[in-house]
Every structure is written in structure tokens, then in C-alpha cells.
Structure 1
Amino acid sequence: MTKILVLYYSSYGHIEQMAQAVADGARESGADVVIKRVPEIVPPDVAGAYGFKLDQAAPIAVPDELADYDGIVFGVPTRFGGMAAQMRNFLDQTGGLWHSGALIGKVASMFTSSATQHGGQEATILTSIPTFLHHGMIIVGLPYSNTDLTLLDEVSGGTPYGASTISGSDNKRQPSERELGLARAQGRYVAQVASRQRQGDDAHAPQAE
């Protein structure tokens, strides 16, 4: 069975909700899905003062386990148009995986959030892609076959690079049904691509005589 990891960081719970939707979509495609998060690196007193959601159910991941999955969907909020430091810190610890080539050929995809409608969602995903390419991963986005990407009747996240949500400057806006639907679609698509990739790898594996 294709194994998918949804690995995320979420300060206020928006990315946490999107991660659940991505996982639901991947499971709909028959994948074995695990949701984990990266460690918080903000001091507890500061995180508490800013109202961070610290009681998240997902267990903490360790870098070496990324090699155990066929595909990894990264959920990362934008910080000034780039990846949040918590995920950057985690990925900076994957040098051993890079050295051994452990992630080559695995599927990578990403979803994100921002406070405002034009707050750097696409920039965050696009500037993260080089990290995945350095690991030799196969990049998967969110195709325009998901027609909700083209609708203009409401304020909504969603890009061809990956699903996204908008939190509002006070972080009170929650992911909409449309945004969660795009996240589920991304999960389904990642699982399908990872399954095909896994089957291709198995077909080319050395056969015992």
C-alpha cells in the first residue's frame, strides 16, 4: 500500500485543519496516511502570549522517518512570503537523507496559508520547491482539473502550486469548505501519483531468479 505522510506546522490551527483534509483525500485514494507535525521552536511563554495552538493531536516527526514514505505533503504557513521557520529548521536537519539519496524519486507536495489574500501563498510554495529538488523528489501541485481554482464568487485560497487558506489578520477566519475541498483534492492526487511511482519502481526492481 502507498504510504503518505502529511507533515505540517500550524501556529493557530488553520494548517492543522488543512492537513486533516489532505489526509482524508489521500485515504480516499487508498493510501496509508500518517499525519505528523514538526516541533515548535518558539519559546513556550512567547507562543502562549501570541495565542499559539499548542494542544495539537498529531505526534512530532523526526527527520529520518521521511524516508519511510512514498509521498510527503508539507503544510507550511507563509512568513513574509517564505516558509515558516519551524519547517525550515526541520528540513535543515535532513542532510543525512540528502547524503544517502533516501528521498530520491519520492513525491513532494505542499499547501500553505497566509493572513491576507495576497500574502505570499504562491511565493512560499515556489521558494520551497528547490529544497525538494535538492532531495531528488518529484513535485506535485494541484491541477486546474479542480475547477474551484477558477471560481471568483468568493474570497478563497487555492493555487495550481498547492491548496491554501486565508486566516485573516486576526487569525479568526477558518478554512472554507472550498479550501478544504481543494486540500482533499490535493491529497487524492498526491496519493495517485505516488502510487503510480511506487508501481513503476516495483516493476523495475531486480527480480529473484
Structure 2
Amino acid sequence: MTKLAIVYYSAFGTGHAMATRLAETAEKQGAEVRLRRVRETAPDEVVQGVDAWAAHAASVADQPVAEPDDLAWADAVIMGSGTRYGHVTSQLQAFIDTLGPLWQEGKLADKVYSAFTSSSTLHGGQESTILAMITTFCHFGGIIVPPGYTDPTKFEDGNPYGVGVVTDDSDELSETDLNALDHMVERVLEVAGRLRD
């Protein structure tokens, strides 16, 4: 059984919906999954000042928070972050910054990694955000498994680096989004399984 850690940050809910879909699909494929959000690092007065942000924070408050051990445990890791000026959120970066001890011990190497993101505008920094996560995975010594154009759905969503979604007020994922997420996690599990065997 492949052990998959899905570690993500979501301010308004789209990233959470994406991570949840990845986890559900992975479990259907027989993986053992740890779905973990990263800690909110923005000041509470800032979060509470934006209704959608405050509502989402309240809705996930009782859900598990990512710890470095979740990556040490995993055979494969999928990270997700909204775009912030073409880069990962400070919240996800704060979590990544806690991984130094594991990195020094080589405990982040030789795992399969992939990534997802969302933005409020078309493109909106999606590819550069995923590439920023891929750069981190390179430093880990990770085995990067992008979806590429390995399935017809990738010609619909158009992102070979990972999965990127354009958000709207509903945080509903389209059929194309769902198919792209399913394909990515299935590919990650397939490659991780081959490496484990």
C-alpha cells in the first residue's frame, strides 16, 4: 500500500476542495492517505477581516495540521498552494521551512512529488507557483512526477506541470478540474508503487 501525504494551504476553499478530491481518489486506488492542511500564519485580524477567509478557516479548524513527520512517513507527497504573485503562499513556505532537519538526514529524498495550485485569474501565476514547488522538490532529492500530457484530459486543462484551477465564488471544481486531479494522483501512485516494488 502506497503512503501518500497531501499537504496544502487554502485560504478560501479551492485548494481544500482540490486536496480533498486527491485524497478521495487516492483512497479508492488503495493508498493510505494523510490529508494535512498547513497552519495559518496570517494574523487573525487579517483573516477575520475577509469573510470568505474567516469562514474557510473556521470550517477546517478541527482538521489535522501538517507536521514534518507526515513527509517522513510518506512514499509520495502532493503539495498544493494558491498563487501569491506567482509563488507559493507564505503559509506553505513556512511549513517547508520546518523541513530542514529531515532534509539534512536525507529523509525527504527518493520520494515521488507532484503539485497543484489555484488562482483567481486565468494563468495568474499557476505555472510559476508549481515550478517553485518543483524547485523545492529538487532540493529534497525528490522524484518529480508531473502529469505531463500523458492523458487526454491534460489537453483540456492545459497544465503539464501539475494541476491548476481558476477559482470562482463557488469553489466548485469543474469536470475538467476533477479529471485532471484524478489523473495526477493516479499517476503519482502508479510511479510510487513501481519504485516501492
The aligned counterpart of 2:193 is 195
Large movers: runs of 4+ above 6 Å = none
Structure 1 residues 59-116: Cα deviation after superposition (integer angstroms, max 9, x where no partner):
1011233100100100111101001110001001100011000011001110000010
The aligned counterpart of 1:13 is 13
The aligned counterpart of 2:178 is 180
Q: Distance in 2 between matches of 1:29 and 1:141?
A: 18
Note if 1:78 corresponds to 2:83.
yes
Check whether the contact 1:78–1:113 (CA below 8 A) recurs between aligned residues.
Answer: yes
The aligned counterpart of 1:36 is 36
Kindly state the Cα deviation for residue 173 of structure 1 after the two structures are TM-superposed: 5.1
Q: Which has the higher helix share?
A: 2
Q: Distance in 2 between matches of 1:65 and 1:33?
A: 10
The aligned counterpart of 1:165 is 165
Matched residue count: 192
| Higher mean C-alpha deviation, range 66-75 or range 184-193 | 184-193
Q: How does 1:87-166 map to 2 (within 5 A)?
A: 87-151=92-156, 157-166=157-166
The aligned counterpart of 1:24 is 24
Counterpart residue identity of residue 49, structure 1 = G
Mark the runs of 5 or more structure 1 residues left unpaired by the alignment: 152-156, 200-209
Counterpart residue identity of residue 186, structure 1 = M
Query: What's the TM-score, normalizing by structure 2?
Result: 0.92
The aligned counterpart of 1:203 is none
The aligned counterpart of 1:205 is none
SS of the equivalent of 1:147 reads coil
| Higher mean C-alpha deviation, range 124-133 or range 78-87 | 124-133
| Higher mean C-alpha deviation, range 175-184 or range 72-81 | 175-184
Q: Distance in 2 between matches of 1:92 and 1:12?
A: 23
Kindly state the Cα deviation for residue 146 of structure 1 after the two structures are TM-superposed: 2.2
Q: Distance in 2 between matches of 1:74 and 1:195?
A: 18
Mark the runs of 5 or more structure 2 residues left unpaired by the alignment: none
Kindly state the Cα deviation for residue 172 of structure 1 after the two structures are TM-superposed: 4.2
Check whether the contact 1:63–1:93 (CA below 8 A) recurs between aligned residues.
Answer: yes
Kindly, what percent of the aligned residue pairs are identical?
Answer: 39
Q: Distance in 1 between matches of 2:133 and 2:164?
A: 15
Counterpart residue identity of residue 91, structure 1 = I
The alignment's C-alpha RMSD in Å is 1.5
SS of the equivalent of 2:6 reads strand
Which protein shows a greater Rg?
A: 1
Q: Distance in 2 between matches of 1:162 and 1:47?
A: 28
Q: Distance in 2 between matches of 1:147 and 1:58?
A: 34
Query: What's the TM-score, normalizing by structure 1?
Result: 0.87
